[in-house]
Amino acid sequence: MSVKEITCKTALHHHDKEFATNWDLNVYRGCGHRCVYCFAQYSHKYLETDRFFDDIFVKTNVAEALNVDFSKRSWNGDPINVCGVTDGYQPIEEDYCLMPKIIKTFIRHKNPLVITTKSTLLLRDINLLEELNGIAAVDVRVSVSAMNESVREKIEPFASPTVDRLRMLGELGKRGIRAGILMMPVIPHLTDDIENLDKIFELVKKNDGKFIFPQILHLRGDTKRDFLDYARKFFPDLEEKIKRLYGSGAYVDKKYAEAFRRKIILLRKKYNFFNELPRNDCRKRETPSAQLTLL
């Protein structure tokens, strides 16, 4: 892996399609988690390299750039999704420690924060997240796919073990921080079995997770080619099944999607857990003003 330090002119990126929010902040370009299904590999084309997992670009001034963005009179305090494309808590963050600086900038400006991650390294910064949560809403979305560690190590080799990620929900909950699961992606014929899905629901419930949002694997563009190449090597029976299920497109056929939807409905009923991805209600917390006394 090669690491290149770069500077950014602005920290924030706006997009029209709202998922967590309409605003992203990505600390790094490229990602060391090496998830074989990663949809973001396309983004390296703008950097004249296609080695998304091996060429990691570090935005060394990202916290300073964020402070400039937040200080603009036009900034209205919208929530920001940190790690919308690449994980801010990927392995290289242990060396660069940029996330604490970023969270402190959020604290300084009392700005709502959304974090999406596959790493328990986030717990290093739990005190800062708790401090921010006292003045502006914090929403943590933990991404998981497979309970089977053998499978997990093949598809997400440098992410945290799934069980550890699910336990992290409980630690965040103890601090009053809303956290839940993005069950993304669910990989057909690999992580879509009822045993895997059931265990995830069970542990999210046990660890007081606030929501579960499942989504079936999408295979857009080059991601499809790369995923099929990987499946051929590590999951030989999977390649042909995926080809049949996806055909020439990026999405599973409607019959499969409906069968999967019914599985999720049954699990929501079993665990009395109907919370899906929460609407974007992250806002600054109002500090109660002191009550005036009559003289």
pLDDT digits (tens, 9 = 90+) for 174-195: 999 999 999 999 999 999 999 9
If one counts the domains in the chain, the total is 1
Place of tokens 């069970």: 202
User: 282 in a domain, yes or no?
Assistant: no
40 to 59, 85, 125: CA distances (angstroms): 17, 6, 25
Q: Residues 157, 225: contact at Cβ < 8 Å?
A: no
Q: Name the residue with higher pLDDT: 45 or 256.
A: 256
CATH number for position 256: 3.20.20.70
User: 293 in a domain, yes or no?
Assistant: no
User: 291 in a domain, yes or no?
Assistant: no
What is the pLDDT averaged over residues 157-172? 97
Is residue 288 over pLDDT 50?
A: no
User: 294 in a domain, yes or no?
Assistant: no
Is residue 280 over pLDDT 50?
A: yes
> Exposure of 217 by Cβ count < 10 A (0-12 exposed, 13-18 middle, 19+ buried)?
buried
User: 215 in a domain, yes or no?
Assistant: yes
pLDDT of amino acid 20: 64
User: 280 in a domain, yes or no?
Assistant: no
pLDDT of amino acid 284: 55
User: 287 in a domain, yes or no?
Assistant: no
The one-letter amino acid code at 206 reads: K
Is residue 283 over pLDDT 80?
A: no
User: 295 in a domain, yes or no?
Assistant: no
The one-letter amino acid code at 256 reads: Y
- The residues, any chain, with a CB within 8 Å of residue 25's CB and separated by 6 or more, are 11, 12, 13, 62, 66, 80, 81, 82, 83, 84, 102
Domain holding 194, by residue range, is 2-270
